[in-house]
Structure 1
């Protein structure tokens, strides 16, 4: 009786192990960039890529990322009591340090290889990861540029935005101002009501196209640190679950912080001083074409 009862569980365990092995294999395989992707990225400051990961691979990692977000989340105020930033998403960083399974996803050579080729560099290292979960009823993500927060002396930095479910318009997919990585106005603005108002007006005055597209399961976008972007509210009934990874040129150096946020962000590169390359255990090289 016990052996019979254990058989289905053993079969399920074997199937799970096979799915994980297949997913790990995909994370190490190169992705075939569309012919124009690098040029589009250089011109627009972002690119939306199809089929970056298979739905099956997303299915292997989404439950673990979600479990870690729930476990590590420190935001417990009701939505109505939060400010605009707090309503935008639940935010948890460096999940890879807490979960071996998340580490597999964050350290993916497939994703890092895409980043390196888009940035036009030989190698990229990890800055940090960040899960961004927009709850049902969650508000807008105001206009901003990520590199406002990064004490890095290089613009060869980018973020992969990887939804862990299909993301239609009503869930608030990430949207970009096409070509705005070349626009220096507003780079001194943290994400806030002020950045939303001022950047929305300034970008419209300069006729930057606001590119908003749904994401199919397995799609991902990559955007430069100085590309202005935003997202709408989540009008759906489930959280908009997104995993992000920030990559930097492996030879990028730390800059002197110019605001308090950048000073705090030095913690992602422990022990690294101004002018130094953040070659730390927290910032491993994830892809190097010279050793591929």
Structure 2
């Protein structure tokens, strides 16, 4: 019950932190989950990644995306223990306050494990994959282990989310080159949060440009992410194969124009307390 209480209790956000997020489209928060929470839930996340991972090619034989991380999505569907973590009101409440939304739903979760020797994650915007008619999307990115600066948290381009759809390029060498050129000419600052402790978390908007460094160490960089969308969001007509795929996978039995409230998009926080 103590664990459930921690997952349900609120996280103290200051008005200045909320304002910083509104300005920059990203924010680092310490101790979003405590060590007891990680001790209880990280093994279940790691077990699901191990069980569901189908990547068997050596790193050198993969493309840039494949070298960036092992990616396993919607672990909450396959593990009751991970479901308790992903559905935590504590995390969703932070997402709601930062987005200034009355309620938030799960879009999906992702475990992103960067292997020893794994490559960098190219510059990209998450929301090019999401057929969601809103700017109110946000990702919580939480390391399950302490990570040093050289493995690192992500780099963010402050204010880039205000520009919306910058490029349709999916994560690739081309997206990295093209967006790096755009960033260099934009005048927008790049922020890198450096080392993070297990249970710290960054939050970033769906349109925020971001990237991550390679992993030069011999330890796995284990990260769990949860993507949220504001309650009441409607679905866009997909304009790419990536968005068509996302609509089919993450919002089953829903169509463009309808609410993003399928059985895979449960309401996990409302200001009214439901």
User: Do these two structures clear the TM 0.5 threshold for a shared fold by scoring above it?
Assistant: yes
Quote how far apart the aligned CAs of 1:185 are.
6.5
1:272 matched to 2:254: yes
Distance 1:152 1:191 in 2: 19
- Give 2:16's aligned residue: 36
Number of residue pairs matched by the alignment: 272
Of 106, 126, 130, which aligns to 1:150?
A: 130
Distance 2:35 2:158 in 1: 28
Quote how far apart the aligned CAs of 1:23 are.
2.3
Equivalent residues of 2:128, 2:165 under 8 A apart: no
Equivalent residues of 2:105, 2:231 under 8 A apart: yes
Distance 1:34 1:87 in 2: 38
CA deviation string 1:189-212 (max 9, x = no partner) = 111101101111111211222211
Q: Normalising by the residue count of structure 1, what TM-score does the alignment of the two structures yield?
A: 0.91
Distance of aligned partners of 1:184 and 1:30 in 2 relative to their CA distance in 1, 3 Å threshold: closer
Q: How does 1:28-177 map to 2 (within 5 A)?
A: 28-177=8-157
> RMSD over aligned Cα, in angstroms?
1.2
Distance 1:280 1:189 in 2: 27
Of 246, 249, 273, which aligns to 2:230?
A: 249
103-112 vs 56-65, greater mean Cα deviation: 56-65
Quote how far apart the aligned CAs of 1:184 are.
4.4
- Deviating beyond 4 angstroms after TM superposition, the runs of 4 or more aligned structure 1 residues are none
Q: Normalising by the residue count of structure 2, what TM-score does the alignment of the two structures yield?
A: 0.96
Equivalent residues of 1:91, 1:130 under 8 A apart: yes
Quote how far apart the aligned CAs of 1:75 are.
1.2
Q: How does 1:193-208 map to 2 (within 5 A)?
A: 193-208=173-188
42-51 vs 200-209, greater mean Cα deviation: 200-209
Distance 2:164 2:15 in 1: 29
- Give 1:16's aligned residue: none
Equivalent residues of 1:186, 1:195 under 8 A apart: no
CA deviation string 1:39-77 (max 9, x = no partner) = 111100011111111122112111110110010011111
> Which of 1 and 2 has greater Rg?
1
Q: Determine helix, strand or coil for the equivalent of 2:146.
A: coil
Distance 1:151 1:124 in 2: 16
Distance 1:23 1:99 in 2: 17
CA deviation string 1:267-286 (max 9, x = no partner) = 20100111111222211000
Distance of aligned partners of 1:186 and 1:51 in 2 relative to their CA distance in 1, 3 Å threshold: same
Distance 1:264 1:185 in 2: 19
Structure with greater helix percent: 1
Gap regions ≥5 residues in structure 2: none
Distance 1:56 1:236 in 2: 26
Distance 2:78 2:262 in 1: 17
Distance 1:43 1:100 in 2: 37
CA deviation string 1:7-38 (max 9, x = no partner) = xxxxxxxxxxxxxx432221111111133111
Q: Determine helix, strand or coil for the equivalent of 2:83.
A: helix
CA deviation string 1:90-140 (max 9, x = no partner) = 000000011111001100000000000000110000100010000000000
